[in-house]
Every structure is written in C-alpha cells, then in structure tokens.
Amino acid sequence: MKHLIFWQNAPSIHQAPLIRSLADRLGYKITLVCENSLSKNRKDMGWENMDYGKAVVYINPNEDKIQSLLKSRDKNTIHIISGIRGYKLMRYALDECTQNNNNVGVIVEAPRKTLWPIDLVKRVVYGMYAFKLKDRIDFILAMGRKGVDWYSKCGYYNQKIFLFGYVVDVLNEKQNKTVNNTFQLLYVGSLIKLKGVDLLLKALAEIDCKEWTLTIVGSGCEKDSLTNLSQDLGIIDKIVFVGSKTNTITKEYINNADLLVLPSRDDGWGAVVSEALMNGTPVVCSNNSGASSLIKSGERGDIFKSDSVTELSHYLKKWVNSGSISHEKRKAIQEWAQNHISPLAMSEYFNDIMEYVYGSGERPDDPWV
C-alpha cells in the first residue's frame, strides 16, 4: 500500500475532499501534517467541518514526529508538499526530501502578478529554485493553466508538470432552485481590491436590460468603499451585502444563483468556481484566475480579460438577457463537473499521475481539457 504524506501550512476545505477520496475510495494510507491550526481569518470566512476520512492528521506536530515522517524513505512513501517557497515547515520538509532522495512532489499556484521590475526579480528567484530542484522533484501539480505556464517558463521539466486544481465537495445531489424572472448574480470572496468587486459593480451599472440582483457574500476592508460605489453608480437597490457566511450557508447561495462572478485581478485558483460548477451554476471569471481553465465559453460560463469592465459587462449582459438558468442547463454542468473535477474524478487522476511517475502507466490526459 502506498503511503502519501501531505505537508500543508493549515487544514484546507479545498484539499480535504481529495485527501478523503484518496484514503476512503482508492485505499491509500494518508498522513496529513499541518504546521498550524485553522486561522481566525479562515474561520471568519466560514471554513468548517473538514472531513479527511481515514487520513491521520497531525496539527503542529513535535520534532520527533516530523523527523519520523521524513525518514519514511521506502519506495511506497510519497511526500506531497504545498508550495516551494512558502511556510517554514514546508520549506524544511522539501529540503529534507530533496536532499535525501525521498519520493516527493509539490502542489503549487502561480505567484501573484506584480509590477514588471518586481515580476522580473520574482522570475529570477523562481528560476534559481527551478535550477536547484528540477532534477530532485518528481512531479509538480500546478493550479490551472496559469500555474502550468508559470512553472514551465521558470525552467521545470514539462514532463513533470501536471495540470491540477483544488477539489471541493459535492454540494447538492438534486437541484431545487426555482426559476424566476429576476436574474440572480452572486459574488463569493474577500472584499479586497485584488478580488475586483469594484470592476463587477461598474460592469453591472452598464446593464440596462432585464431585472437582476447581485448578492455579495464576504467581508473585507473594501466593504464601505464598495457600498459607496454602488450608491454612486445608482445600483445600490440591486446589491445585497450579506457578510461572511459558513461554508454550508454559502453553498445555499450558490445553489440559488443563476451566475457566479469571480472578477479577480489576480487569483492563484479561485475554488468558488469549482464549487459553482459542482452545483451546476455557470461562472464568469477573469483570465487571471487559475480556475478559468475550467470554463468553456458558452457552456459553463465565460472568461473576460482581467481589468476590462467593458468585456465583463458584455458577458454579464449576455447571461442576464438569456434569463434564469434552466434545470437542464444546471444538470449538464453538474454532470460535467462530477465526471471531471469531483473528489473521485480528481483522486483517480492523481492516482494515474502516481502510476505514471512511479510505475509503468502512461501519462494521463489533463482532467478537464
């Protein structure tokens, strides 16, 4: 039996479903090591009730436990580390694994975009890490096409890079949304500039077609300025700020939405996109979101150029004018998601990667392309 040891900074609702499926459905022995417990910020965002199934979980383990896990160097033990340059324990685990020829791979996002001088320095730094690690890391699970492109350009071997994404649980087994005349738009996430909610409001102000409402789930330092912007744009009566909600309640908002919008200026992944598709809700998101690689325009949503209010408004008008999403459309999206990005589908894809890297299997096709 293969033993997978996941190293993370903290428990994550976006990795728990994958780990649980690997342990409970595919029969892997799983150990999860977290440097920290769940932060207050994550708790405020509604993260709760993470189910890791049969996996053994260690939160802030002592030095003896860390060393005993890192000494697991037999051919059936594989270390999977979140990040390359991030948290202290992850860096230490990666250094130990690569220096001692452990079986090891990483789960990574592309870094955030910055101004070109900083971006150039960042590219040089990541390139130096690639020069050091590219022969020692066995595989790279890169978040979205954005992640694949970044780590390829940094110098890692393409044959070691695999398209990947964060995994979320199935939300509802059956759809129960009532189709009505008011188109229900939804944003879920932090209210910070990076998330681009101001772009969404400006784009909506250009819509003079059918009835619509926007529900905003989340909190952050931009709340007051976004409220004022809504007033200035004359759309405040169509905007509902509900604050942060538990993950369970957030799922109910997703279930009742006709369209989820993720207007991020930059986003390593954007797990709410996965959550929406798993529930049969189409998505409009920016091309700077890693999860944009899940979207096929016209079928599961649309992708707009980041920072383009005009392009975002164009797609919003298109979806609002098409009317509330039918049960048939939802079912088609949900069936696609079950077959391509569900916990079981992604755990089977992960297993195929392991068979390719450490066994005699063929390289698996990208899961949703």
Tens-digit pLDDT profile for residues 19-52: 999 999 999 999 999 999 988 888 877 787 789 9
Task: Tell me the two tokens of residue 298.
Answer: 């016209």
- The helix (H) or strand (E) run that includes residue 120 is helix 116-133
SS3 at position 112: coil
Domain ranges in the chain with CATH number 3.40.50.2000: 3-167+342-358, 183-338
Q: Quote the strand ranges of 29-83, DSSP E.
A: 29-34, 56-59, 77-82
Q: Residue 173 pLDDT > 80, yes or no? A: no
Mean confidence (pLDDT) of the chain: 93
Q: Express each pLDDT in 88-133 by its tens digit.
A: 999 999 999 999 999 999 999 999 887 778 888 988 999 999 999 9
* Percentage of residues of the chain with pLDDT beyond 70: 98
**Angle (nearest 5°) at CA 259 between 254 and 265:** 95
Closest CA to 225 of 190, 189, 263, 193: 193
- The helix (H) or strand (E) run that includes residue 97 is helix 88-99
Which DSSP symbol is given to 90?
Answer: H
Q: What is the mean pLDDT of residues 151-176?
A: 86
Q: How far apart are CA 321 and CA 318, in angstroms?
A: 5
**Inter-residue contact 281 to 325 (CB < 8 Å):** yes
**Predicted pLDDT of residue 178:** 62
Closest CA to 31 of 63, 78, 74, 67: 78
Q: Residue 85 pLDDT > 90, yes or no? A: no
In CATH, the architecture of 183-338 is 3-Layer(aba) Sandwich (3.40)
In CATH, the architecture of 3-167+342-358 is 3-Layer(aba) Sandwich (3.40)
**Inter-residue contact 286 to 303 (CB < 8 Å):** yes
**Inter-residue contact 220 to 190 (CB < 8 Å):** yes
**Angle (nearest 5°) at CA 66 between 63 and 71:** 125
**Predicted pLDDT of residue 177:** 62
Q: How far apart are CA 286 and CA 88, in angstroms?
A: 32
Question: Torsion over CA of 332, 335, 341 and 347, rounded to 10 degrees?
Answer: -170
Q: How far apart are CA 92 and CA 88, in angstroms?
A: 6
**Angle (nearest 5°) at CA 365 between 268 and 134:** 60
Q: Express each pLDDT in 196-228 by its tens digit.
A: 999 999 999 999 877 999 999 999 999 999 999
Q: Express each pLDDT in 226-270 by its tens digit.
A: 999 999 999 999 999 999 998 889 989 999 999 999 999 999 999
Q: Quick one: how far is CA 133 from the chain centroid?
A: 25
pTM of the predicted protein model: 0.93
**Inter-residue contact 210 to 240 (CB < 8 Å):** no
**Inter-residue contact 104 to 94 (CB < 8 Å):** yes
**Predicted pLDDT of residue 42:** 83
**Predicted pLDDT of residue 209:** 76
